[in-house]
Amino acid sequence: LVVVLCVLLLVPMIAAQIDLFRQVFPGYVEWFRESVLPAIHTLVGVDENSALMGKLKDALNQNWEKASDLLVLLIGKVTQSGLAIVAWLGSVALVPVVTFYLLRDWDHLIGHIRDLLPRSSVDTVSRLALECDEVLGAFLRGQLLIMISLGIIYTVGLLVIGLDLALLVGLLAGTASVVPYLGAALGIITASVAAIVQFHDWIYLLPVAAVFAVGQLIESLFLTPVLVGDKIGLHPVAVIFAVLAGGQLFGFVGILLALPVAAVSMVLLRHAHHSYTKSVFYH
């Protein structure tokens, strides 16, 4: 019931924000044309009124064979990208189909797996699988709560600043927070552009940066350790260490998978510790 009420409240607000964005979009185009393009020209040392296109045409005429090879290569890359997009869309379309059959036949599949296990290990493996399923479920629920919390924090902070698109940017950043650091990076970029276009003053970048810095601080020191760490049985220090170690060892993928892997590892370590204390080596 609470979820339904939230959706009923949010949908009209999001629709209003999208309509507002549609209205102010010409302002973004104007800002890009008047501010960004001249800055790019200055940065690369090219005058807007220079004969750059003429020089490019002369270069192409003088190196037509190389240009043709480049065009063929470019077309090949575009074709490969198009095929990759089609393959990706096909994979996305298969997700609900595979999910449906997995849910329908889940008990049957689990039964087959149990039949393949050694009889002496069935109870142990089943107990471990159940515990891993519980901690992974707790991780996903905790991650969802973090996304919602960050979305609220970002939205409220941007509303305090006076940003018209605060709800849209906050929801976007909160949703993207499922990937560590992506939500903050995406949010601060979109909020900065929106603030510059709305207020025409670069000083508003400071409060925007402060909002996302505070959000990241709250997430790192409170939300992740409490909403995820406690639910999956990890100490707050272990949560921070797992994320840092995952990023250091495996980069972005390591950050993304650090906590679920750490949670499953803790289940296995607890079982190993329990088995050790019951063994003859301990006594």
- Give, for 120, the enclosing helix (H) or strand (E): none
In a domain, 90, yes or no: yes
Q: What is the pLDDT of residue 255?
A: 81
Residue 129 clears pLDDT 60, i.e. is over it: yes
Which two three-digit tokens encode residue 80?
């490969």
Q: What is the pLDDT of residue 41?
A: 62
In a domain, 74, yes or no: yes
In a domain, 102, yes or no: yes
Q: How confident is the model at residue 282 (pLDDT cuts 50, 70, 90)?
A: confident
User: From residue 119, how far is each of 8, 66, 111, 115, 128 by CA, in Å?
Assistant: 52, 68, 13, 8, 15
Segment 142-167 shows an average pLDDT of 92
In a domain, 61, yes or no: no
Range of the domain at 73: 68-106
Q: How many domains would you assign to the chain?
A: 1
Q: What is the pLDDT of residue 170?
A: 93
The owner of tokens 């025409």 is 200
Determine the Cα–Cα distance for residues 74 and 13; give it in Å rounded to an integer: 43
The owner of tokens 């605060």 is 166
Q: What is the pLDDT of residue 61?
A: 56
DSSP 176-225: HTTSTTHHHHHHHHHHHHHHHHHH--GGGHHHHHHHHHHHHHHIIIIIII
Share of the chain above pLDDT 90, in %: 15
Q: What is the pLDDT of residue 53?
A: 46
| Stated pTM of the model | 0.65
In a domain, 88, yes or no: yes
Q: pLDDT tens for residues 168-183?
A: 999 999 998 887 778 8
Integer distance in angstroms from the first to the last C-alpha of the chain?
54
In a domain, 147, yes or no: no
In a domain, 92, yes or no: yes
Q: Which of 109, 159, 124, 142 is nearest to 219 (CA)?
A: 142
User: From residue 266, how far is each of 62, 228, 240, 247, 280 by CA, in Å?
Assistant: 65, 14, 15, 19, 23
Residue 63 clears pLDDT 60, i.e. is over it: no
Determine the Cα–Cα distance for residues 29 and 262; give it in Å rounded to an integer: 46
Would you give the distance in Å from CA 276 to the centre of its chain?
40
The average confidence (pLDDT) of the chain is 79
Radius of gyration of the chain from its Cα atoms, rounded to whole angstroms: 26
Q: How confident is the model at residue 213 (pLDDT cuts 50, 70, 90)?
A: very high
Q: How confident is the model at residue 258 (pLDDT cuts 50, 70, 90)?
A: confident
Q: pLDDT tens for residues 112-125?
A: 888 888 888 788 88
Q: What is the pLDDT of residue 83?
A: 62
Q: What is the pLDDT of residue 40?
A: 59
Higher per-residue pLDDT: 145 or 32: 145
In a domain, 112, yes or no: no
Residue 52 clears pLDDT 70, i.e. is over it: no
The one-letter amino acid at 102:
L
Q: Where are the alpha helices (DSSP H) in the chain?
A: 2-31, 37-44, 52-62, 64-116, 122-161, 166-176, 182-199, 205-218, 236-277
